[in-house]
Structure formats: C-alpha cells, structure tokens
Amino acid sequence: MSIEVKVPVLGESVSEATVGQWLKQPGEAVALDEPIASLETDKVAVEVPSPVAGIMGAHVAAEGDTVAVGALLGLIETSGVANAPAPAPAAAAAPAAVAADDAAALSPAVRRAVLEHGIDPATVKGTGKDGRLTKEDVLAAAVAKQAAPAPVVAAPAPAPAPAPVVSTSGERREERVKMTRLRQTIAKRLKSAQETAAMLTTFNDVDMSAVMEARAKYKDVFEKKHGVKLGLMSFFAKASVLALKDIPSVNAQLQGDEIVYFDYVDISVAVSAPNGLVVPVVRDVDKMSFAGIEKAIADYGKKARDGTLTMADMAGGTFTISNGGVFGGLMSTPIINPPQSAVLGLHRIEDRPVVRDGQIVVRPMMYIALSYDHRIIDGREAVTALKTIKEAIEDPTRLLIDM
C-alpha cells in the first residue's frame, strides 16, 4: 500500500517551499515520524516527518523543485510493514552514537558540518534530544580528529620526487550555484526595504567602560545563578526599551496610510545561521530581566546553528538589533527589517583616545548606528532615541531606575 506524503502547512502567509534535500532514498527503511525530506521556506528549513513506518517509495518532487502547501512530495510503501512507533531512546547505559541509517536524518546544519569536516556520524556520540547529533558534537569530533596523532607505519623506500606540475594555461574557473529560497527572500526583502522606506542613518559613539566593568564584576556570579553568560545584548536591549518607550514612533510601523503604535517591545535579534542571516524575535523585552533576555538570545543562537528555528520564532517584531561587531565591523548602516521602522546596529569595541574633564584618556569605545524610516520618524526623534541608548549604556543605573 502506498501512503502519500504531502507538503505540510508551513506557517501563516507561507504558501510554497523549495525541496532542499531528500533525507531518505527509495528503498530505505523509514520509521514513524522520522524526517524524510527538508524543505526551505522563505525563512527557515522545515523537516517533513513520515506519517507511517515503511519503505521510502518514489520521490515525486525533486530537490530544487518549488512545491505548494498540500502538493505531493513522495510515497511511503507499507506493504508487509507494521506501523510501529518510532524507536524509543536508547537506555542510559547504551552508547548514543548515531547509526548509519540515521545519518541521513540529521538536521541541515549537522549534515553540512559532517560533510565539511569528513566526520562519520556513526562514530560520534550525540548530546541532543534522544541522542541526536548537534553541530557542536560534530565540531568537537573534528577538533579531536585533528588533534589525534597519526598512526605510525613503516615508511616505504622513498621514491624519486615527481617533477612539479606547472599550469601554463592560465585557466580561470567559475562556479554557478543556485540561490537558496532563504537567500532569495533575503535579497528581495533588503532591496524592497531600500526602495520602499525613506531610509536614513544616524550615528553616535558609546563609552563602554561602565558596562564592561559591570560584566567583569558580576559575570561569574551571574552565570552561576542564572546558568547563562552576561552579554552585551541584554544591556542594549534594555537601553533600547527606554528609548522606544520615550520615542514611540521608533517602535511603530507604517501600514497603508496609518501608523501603528505598539505598547510592547518585541525585539528581533539578528543571528547568523548556516543559510544566511535570520532574525528571531525576543518578545515582551520590556517585561524581561537581564537573565531572561540572555537566555532567550542564547536559545535562539543554538537553534539557528542547529537549523531548528521555526516560523513562529521569527514572526512579528517591532524593532531590530544587529551586532556586526562580533565579525569585527567598525561602522555600518544597517538595513531596516520590514515592516519595522528602525534598526540598531552595534559594532566592535576598541580602545580610542577621548577627552574627559579636559584630559585625553583611553576608553573602550563603540560606534552605534540607528537606521530609520524617515516617513514616520523625524530626525530629531531618531537622534534622541540613539542618544537615550548611549546615555543608558554609559550609565547603566538608568536601566534600573527607568531614566
């Protein structure tokens, strides 16, 4: 008996996807709920589980095909195969190494790491849910592989060194790779933002001394108490909340001929994922503690690396923070994340000479940038909002007393 596997509902306003990769080939055994294919939507990669246990049948859609929600993807053959539930997790005493049949069911990020580093997934112990491999498991195995001493074998008699091969053709090569659906969507959205919004950027610089001193003083006790590191993003998220509450237009959106103001702050945090930049949303930041913000960002970072972000993780958002400083960027003009009206860009911290009380001193300084839609945010409002963020970072006490 053949069971049809169709494209599942992918999320609100998402009507189609691209077949990224078939995780099961015709003739391979498939367990109930085991991922058999990976679909790329406009925002995330989605794994399609098998509705039954059986044998993978024909692939109706090929890798790279665009498929609509409800379209037929492939078939599962169940003749003579009992619809048994997925195998239970191995007992604690059993090794959690990934079996060869399970290697194809790895997440996209893990598969990419396995291929890049030449790691056999069957030899690696998984630390993820139900013993599944994570990207960190593969990277750790790659490091261990490099550090392992090479086996000592008897060296054969040296052969005459071959003459060096010298290319005299001057050949130059090109490689054409089709853009993923996610990369195509990123390109369209960024170009649309430039063409639609009256985008302008204002800059300021921030003395990071107070924040760095606070982190150095409390980082150990903070991590011990909350189980997460005290980073910079929680300070800037809190400072942004102050600015957005004082200047509501920076937290607003233009919808048709109406301006929509929000009495809550949902901050999209730009995160680098294997397939491109994604912006999961930390919701109700105005009601969260420093630890809550750091935990939410850390969880999203892990999900982005593992390729497990969902559509719901990235839906909405009233303001965006993008930290180009982690890549060494000194200054940039970040692009607005539609339909939002503003984005805060953070950059690297470096020691620079500044004047304090008439004296030239060295301070850890950071350039910050606020790109905004001039259609609904006036220059005065943008400059004031950025200045509020600067003052809160330079004097973190303001974050505690709502100043």
Active site amino acids: 374, 378
CA dihedral 66, 67, 72, 75 (to 10 degrees): 50
Give the integer Cα–Cα distance in Å for 27 and 209: 62
Sequence-distant (6+) residues with CB within 8 A of 363 are: 207, 208, 209, 351, 352, 354, 356
The residue written with tokens 């890049």 in the block is 116
Sequence-distant (6+) residues with CB within 8 A of 215 are: 230, 231, 232
Give the integer Cα–Cα distance in Å for 167 and 109: 37
CA dihedral 323, 325, 326, 329 (to 10 degrees): 120
Q: Do the beta carbons of residue 396 and residue 279 sit within 8 Å? A: no
Q: Do the beta carbons of residue 388 and residue 239 sit within 8 Å? A: yes
Three-class SS state of 71: coil
Give the integer Cα–Cα distance in Å for 178 and 19: 13
CA–CA distance from 87 to each of 31, 78, 95, 102, 125 (Å)? 8, 17, 15, 12, 18
Q: Other C-beta atoms within 10 Å of 184: how many?
A: 15
Q: Other C-beta atoms within 10 Å of 368: how many?
A: 22
Amino acid code (one letter) for 302: K
CA dihedral 389, 393, 399, 402 (to 10 degrees): -40
Listing DSSP states for 312-375 in one string gives HHHS--SEEEEEGGGGT-----PPP-TT-SEEEEE--EEEEEEEETTEEEEEEEEEEEEEEETT
Give the integer Cα–Cα distance in Å for 389 and 395: 10
